[in-house]
Amino acid sequence: MQHPSKGTIDCPDCNRPLITNEGFTSWCECGWNIKKIRPNFELSLEDELIYHSFKNQSETLMNEILSSQSIHKKIQSKHFLLYSFSFLVMALNISLITFSFYLLVFHYTNVLAILLSIVLLFICWQGRIRFQQIDSPFLPRDEFSNTIQLINDIAKQLNVAKPDYYLYDLDFNAAVMRCGTFNSKRAIIVGLPLFYVLNPQEKVALISHELAHFSNNDPKRSIIIGSVYHSLITWLDILQPECLWPSHQPAIEAFFEFLGNICLYLISRIPSSLLVIFHLLNQQDSQRSEYYADLLGATISGKEAFNTMLQNFEYDHIVELCTQRITVQKDLSINFLNLLTTMISEVPAREKKRLITVSERFGLAIDESHPPTFFRQKVVDKLAPSQGQYTLSSETHSKIQREIEAMKDRIHFLKIDEYKEQLMLQSSW
């Protein structure tokens, strides 16, 4: 693959000469053409409020952590508010169920009371707690023995128990979760494309960050958080009418439906406001957990590898471009993992600087539960040690790469299938 060609232009705003790289956005430090990237989620009126608080909240939190030098104690204290709110929502759910049974038992001759109790029970049932089930394939223990050994070694360093399940998927990401009956099992999910492109110490950093979430009990907490979200979103979905004035009805019927919709809309403001409050509380809490997992993870890998690992989360667009190329190309010798490695290794320094600048100015983050990447890197840089506690030898690293390479063709074709499916979904909307 040819290296992207370079050129120069003058900035239209400040006339400074700028280096440009073909295929990448030209931009200037003065602010010209630095694209504001909004987070990757849909924004309703309530979301706007959350989005606007996002960067400010992240920045305040970062400054608090930088000045306190320790975040562990503060993490604990903030859980109280979040848990209290969660139990309030759960208590509301239980009260509605009790009220429904009261109507059924004491007013069973009243048709309206029976209808209301059925509706309430339906709403509560839809919003019930759901335990996560495994939907990723397992890393076969014999074929991925070196990867699994690395995960176990890091777990030992962090003083956390080994995961029960080692899973993989095709995402450019990694995660930990609780799953199975009553979420009793601990699982780590390794996104093979991301894991493959990382260098040895970056691999250590990624796994350390994920396992550090177990040390802080984050996956356990997410059972409660997830179920509260699920209840509130379900209530909102059921109650909130799609539109207030139904255009397809004759005027008189439309008027009565309009009155009904207004009532439903007003009632739906209850779960909608609860959702905003809960989201703001959880946003701060989850960002705090991420900073904590970063600092703990960086003590294992060392801060430099940790921060270059984080940089990879800005390359979503490159992963997408790579997937598009393998889907349309005819040359079967070009493999997804090889092409992705080349494309990421060729990201020009100026593009890396643009992504950091966007993260710094507009709060670009992986998602709303993570602080902007720039802030995370700043905290790690200031507070984590240079030398990590664990070094992955180049010999073991080569073995890990070979384990993934054995799945290269499978990953390639699965990635193409996934992309085609996504395109079909988009075209059917």
Q: Which residues bind Zn ion (CB under 5 A)?
A: 11, 13-14, 16, 28, 30, 32, 290, 293
**Residue with Cβ nearer Zn ion (190 or 337):** 190
| Residue whose entry in the numeric block shows the structure tokens 């703001």 | 280
Place of tokens 């643009």: 354
Closer to Zn ion by CB, 157 or 338: give it: 157
**Residue 14 or 94: which CB sits closer to Zn ion?**
14
Q: Which is nearer to Zn ion, 214 or 336 (CB)?
A: 214
CB 221 within 8 A of CB 79: yes
* End-to-end Cα separation, the chain, in angstroms: 36
Distance in angstroms (rounded) separating the CA atoms of residues 142 and 159: 25
CA distance 206 to 297: 8
On whether the CB atoms of residues 61 and 371 are closer than 8 A, the answer is yes
Smallest separation (angstroms) from Zn ion to the CB of 175: 8
Minimum CB separation from Zn ion for residue 290, in Å?
Answer: 5
- In this structure, what token pair is assigned to residue 20? 């440009």
Residue 11 φ/ψ region, left for φ over 0, alpha for ψ in the -120 to 50 degree band, beta for the rest: beta
CB of 47 to Zn ion, least distance (A): 22
Minimum CB distance to Zn ion smaller for 55 or for 209: 209
365: Cβ contacts below 8 Å, ≥ 6 apart:
39, 54, 58, 359, 371, 372, 373
Residue 275 or 293: the one with the smaller Cβ distance to Zn ion is 293
**How far is 205 from 305, CA to CA, in rounded Å?**
7
Least separation in angstroms between CB 13 and Zn ion: 4
Tokens of 229: 């979200």
Q: Smallest distance from the beta carbon of 32 to Zn ion, in angstroms? A: 4
CB of 181 to Zn ion, least distance (A): 25
